Chains A and B, each alone.
Chain A
């Protein structure tokens, strides 16, 4: 699994963990993100059970484990957080931030020690070592309770499944040619994003943010103008339309 520092200032750093070529076959590749502040850290969408060991091995290269005081799960999917029961035994003093509606479901993954802090539907902000992080509502994209994480200082939006692309495990980290990249995103967004109304609501919200990097949970990171290109492309895309068995 690669570990890549994608943002660095004196106050905090962003790391991407992913492109795990040791993962078992037929398991979707995922991006995990970490924000490291002076004495704390937020681990975002820490991944599935199968990824736990390589993630742990990657993390101890960057910080002591007890510094992981916050965990964020954008939604309830297994590739996002099925490793929860293992993190529960590794960083038992951490707090998990996730959509409020998923608490009863997430506990099925095992959570005896980690504290659960449900995020209200309208979103919330937290401050870690002076760094404000905003949980931006992204409901129904694709999960019925779903959030992104926005760091206004770094101008980074961790967008979860929005912007995800299904590519090989050796794909580059950043989008290099947006038009060429569409082929890897289109099917995913048409199938996994069910609501044009929810999509447009999210786009309107996100257009108000100052974003240098948009970091999805699968595939490549969008930088600079590619963020706007993505929003324009997504706006024009008819989502919830890839299942031909259903007459839409």
Chain B
């Protein structure tokens, strides 16, 4: 029999790493917000020939704002997971030690006259551990869903960025290079954010796998 029923404490490092990834993603999204605002000004200056480009910049600006908001939300969940996992680690440590004492008392020939008084706190600790594990699992699901949602939004941002790049070719020649440069920056930024989201998803997946192998004793 496993001494400890479950173990979600493997999440606390990976969740903190996800929070760091999302912080970086947010900084890039903030840069995109500024870039899309600049792109709007550039399109206005370019006039009718960049009307299509101008229309797309407002979409990019909205997407960037949404990315910042989602980054904040995911960051909060990631920090919650990290905190919960740390509490869970302490509960797990108490559970392990109590089970150790109980097991040794059963084996030992020494008189542990009051060992039964350990049963109640041990059951309470195991119940608390299970409760904490469930809370972590719910947060992990929420985090993974939000990350997937963010990834979809980033795909849209990349498409709009690519369309902006194409639209920039329609602008008058003196504005073309600046608009193209701007559109390229937006595509690059969306790609960079996507990498942070992918890393976050991979970190969560690795933690889930580690948890699974801990629980099955593999």
Contact = CB atoms under 8 A, between A and B. Distances in A.
Interface of A: 49, 52-53, 56-57, 59-67, 85-86, 89-92, 110
Contacts, number: 62
Report the 5 A-B pairs with minimum CB-CB distance, sorted nearest first: A64-B117, A53-B97, A65-B117, A64-B114, A89-B94
Given A65-B117, A66-B117, A89-B125, A60 B101 contact: yes
B115 interface: yes
Contacts of B101: 53, 56-57, 60
A62 B128 CA distance: 27
Q: Is the interface of B mostly helix, strand, loop or mixed?
A: helix
22 contacts: A53-B100, A53-B101, A56-B118, A57-B101, A57-B104, A59-B114, A60-B105, A60-B113, A60-B118, A61-B111, A62-B113, A63-B114, A64-B114, A64-B116, A65-B114, A66-B117, A67-B117, A85-B90, A89-B90, A89-B94, A90-B121, A92-B124
A49 B110 CA distance: 23
Q: Is the interface of A mostly helix, strand, loop or mixed?
A: helix
A86 B117 contact: no
Interface residues of B, number: 24
Contacts of B116: 64
Interface string B114-136: 11111011001100100000000
Interface in B21-63: none
Contacts of A56: 97-98, 101, 118
Contacts of A85: 90, 94
A86 B93 contact: yes
